[in-house]
């Protein structure tokens, strides 16, 4: 029996057999659709893998509050090691045990040319207060420390007079300088700034009062 060529299929939509060109076009479209489906599937699989990886990281990587988990800084010891290197004695706040320090350093060779002693504190209410003591500082340096905000008044704490910078109601972004107290004594400009309450600022300023008076402040 001789081989016979199979007649082309009749396409219902056309009502006639496909031409070779139509057959080739149909196969090309089918191949393209297949590739597109594979691409979409691969994207979905990749997304699922990424989500799964993130879930693993979230579940198994230890997390915590770095402020509370980090050991407190012994700023008194750091100050003791640096005493004598500046024209005035470095101020060391004497605070209750529920106050913690997260940083303390003597900053020298700074771009503004002003050496400063810095102590960062975490209050019992988990707020921040920083103490910066600048040596031979100028008005420009002081303005930079308080984010160029304006004096709102004065406050006397344990016999020491402070200029008050209160930015709590300001719409400007003042960072950590929501409130600041500025005083001077000897060759030191002392700035107490942060996000805490008036009472906690009073505690810090009061703890510095005797030392400031010894420098010649009032």
DSSP 84-147: TSSSSPPP-----TT-EEEEEEEE-S-TTS--EEEEEEE-TTS-EEEEEEEES--HHHHHHHTT
Quick one: pLDDT at residue 199?
96
Query: Does 33 have pLDDT greater than 90?
Result: no
Q: Of 7-11, 93-97, 149-153, which range is least confident? A: 7-11
Q: How confident is the model at residue 62 (pLDDT cuts 50, 70, 90)?
A: very low
Give 11-25 pLDDT, tens digit per residue: 555 556 667 776 777
CB 101 within 8 A of CB 75: yes
Please report, rounded to a whole number, the percentage of residues in the chain having pLDDT higher than 70: 79
Q: Of 17-21, 155-159, 187-191, which range is least confident? A: 17-21
Give 74-121 pLDDT, tens digit per residue: 999 999 999 999 999 999 999 999 999 999 999 999 999 999 999 999
Quick one: pLDDT at residue 65?
43
Work out the mean pLDDT of the chain and round it to a whole number.
85
pLDDT (mean) for 46-56? 69
Give 173-183 pLDDT, tens digit per residue: 778 899 999 99
CB 102 within 8 A of CB 122: yes
Q: H or E element: which one contains 188? A: strand 188-194
Q: How far apart are CA 145 and CA 118, in angstroms?
A: 12
* 5/167: higher pLDDT: 167
> pTM for the whole thing?
0.68
Q: How far apart are CA 102 and CA 122, in angstroms?
A: 7
Quick one: pLDDT at residue 218?
66
CA angle centred on 95, ends 93 and 96, rounded to 5°: 170
CB 204 within 8 A of CB 121: yes
Task: Give the pair of three-digit tokens for residue 19.
Answer: 């031409």
Q: Of 35-44, 165-174, 191-200, which range is least confident? A: 35-44
* Per-position b or e across 88-105, b if 16+ CB within 10 A of its CB: bbbbbbebeeebbbbebe
């Amino acid at each position: 029996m001789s081989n016979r060529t199979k007649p082309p299929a009749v396409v219902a939509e056309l009502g006639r057999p496909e031409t070779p060109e139509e057959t080739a076009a149909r196969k090309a479209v089918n191949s393209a659709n297949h590739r597109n489906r594979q691409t979409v599937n691969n994207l979905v699989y990749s997304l699922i893998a990424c989500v799964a990886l993130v879930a693993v990281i979230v579940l198994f990587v230890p997390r915590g509050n770095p402020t509370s988990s980090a050991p407190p800084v012994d700023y008194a010891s750091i100050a003791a090691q640096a005493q004598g290197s500046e024209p005035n004695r470095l101020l060391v706040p004497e605070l209750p045990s529920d106050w913690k320090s997260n940083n303390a350093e003597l900053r020298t060779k700074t771009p503004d040319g002003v050496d400063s002693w810095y102590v960062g504190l975490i209050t019992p209410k988990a707020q921040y207060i920083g103490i910066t003591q600048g040596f031979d500082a100028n008005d420009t340096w002081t303005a930079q420390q308080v984010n160029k905000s304006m004096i709102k008044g004065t406050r006397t704490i344990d016999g020491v007079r402070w200029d008050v910078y209160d930015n709590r109601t300001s719409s400007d972004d003042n960072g950590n300088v929501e409130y600041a107290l500025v005083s001077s004594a000897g060759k030191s400009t002392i700035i107490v700034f942060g996000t805490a309450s008036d009472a906690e600022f009073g505690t810090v300023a009061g703890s510095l009062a005797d030392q400031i008076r010894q420098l010649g402040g009032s």
